[in-house]
Amino acid sequence: MGIDRGAELRALHVAGRPFILANVWDAGSARMLVARGARALGTSSAAHAFTLGRPDLGQVTRDEALAHAEQLVASVPVPVSGDFEDGFGADPEVVAETVRLAAEVGLAGISIEDTDLPGTEPYRFESAVTRIEAAVDAARSLPGDFVLLARADGVMHRSYDLAEGIRRIKAFEKVGADAVYVPMPPGVDGLAEVCRSVTAPVNALAAGSFTKLSYDRFAEIGVARISLGSSLARLVHRTIDDTAKALFEDGDFSLLADGMSGEDVDSLLIDPGHLGEAGRS
C-alpha cells in the first residue's frame, strides 16, 4: 500500500507550529526546495501561468493544471497541494469533480477560492458555501485522505471586508473545510483575528507586508501553514527582468556572474528526498 500523502499533509497542520508550503512551478524548483528542507509543496496558479506565457487571470484550464500538478507530484517525495483557483467552474458539481480529478493525479489536497474567475468579484455567500460543501463531500468520498482548504479572497481583492471574510471562513469550516485562508488581511491584527475566529487550521500568505514577519511571529499568532503563493516565482522573474535590462539597455553582463554554479544546482536536483530529510533534521 502506498504512502497516504493526504494524511501526511494533514499532520503538518499544527496551529502555532506552522509548516512552510513552498509554492513551485516546475520539477526543478520543486526538487530544489525539497532538497533545502521543504516538507510539502504547493502549485501556484500565477507561477504556472507565467511558465505558459500567460497572465494570472484565471486563464489556465483544469486539464493544464492537472497535468502540471501530476508532473510535480511525480518529481518529489513529499505531499503536494494544488492551487486550483475557483475549482474551474461555478457549478458545485464541477468543483466536486475537480477534487476527484486532483486526487487521481496524486495531489494531497487542493485549495478552492470564492472568486468568480476570470474576474475579481466573489461568488455570493450562499453559492460560495455550497461550492465548498460539494468539494468537502467529494473529498470525503475518496479512498485516501485529502486536505481541502477553503479560501476567502475578497479581502485581498477589496470586494468585501474582513468581517465578511471571517463570516465566510466560519461557514466553510462549518461545512467541513479542513483548513481556511483569508489572503492578505489588514495587517497582523487582522491575521490574528482570522486565527481566533475558527478552530480549523489557518493558512497565511508570506507576501507584501507579511514578508516582514518572522516564522516565530506567524507561530505566535496561531498560523498553521505559511504559503508563498507566487512570491518566489516573482522573485525569479525580478532577477530575469533586472538582468535583461542590464543586458539590452546597458550592454552589462556582470549580473550573470551572480548565478549559482551548475554543480550546485545539480547537487540539489540529484536526490531531493535524501537532502530534504537532512534539511528537516
Of the listed ranges 37-51, 122-136, 240-254, 265-279, the one predicted with least confidence: 265-279
pLDDT for 139 equals 98
**Residue 30 contacts by C-beta under 8 Å, 6 or more apart in sequence?**
24, 41, 72, 75, 76, 80, 272
**Is the pLDDT confidence value at 170 over 90?**
yes
183-211 pLDDT, tens digit per residue, is 999 999 999 999 999 999 999 999 999 99
Give pLDDT tens digits for 25-82. Answer: 999 999 999 999 999 999 999 999 999 999 987 889 999 999 999 999 999 999 999 9
Number of folded domains in the chain?
A: 1
pLDDT at 272: 66
What CATH number should be reported for the domain holding residue 84?
A: 3.20.20.60
Domain that holds residue 69: 5-280
The DSSP 8-state label assigned to residue 224 in this structure reads S
Q: What is the mean pLDDT of the chain?
A: 95
Which pTM does this prediction carry?
0.93
**What phi-psi label fits residue 21: left (phi over 0), alpha (psi between -120 and 50 degrees) or beta?**
beta
In this prediction, residue 57 carries a pLDDT of 78
Confidence (pLDDT) at 270:
87
pLDDT value at 276 more than 50: no
Cis, bond preceding 118 (omega within 30 deg of 0): yes
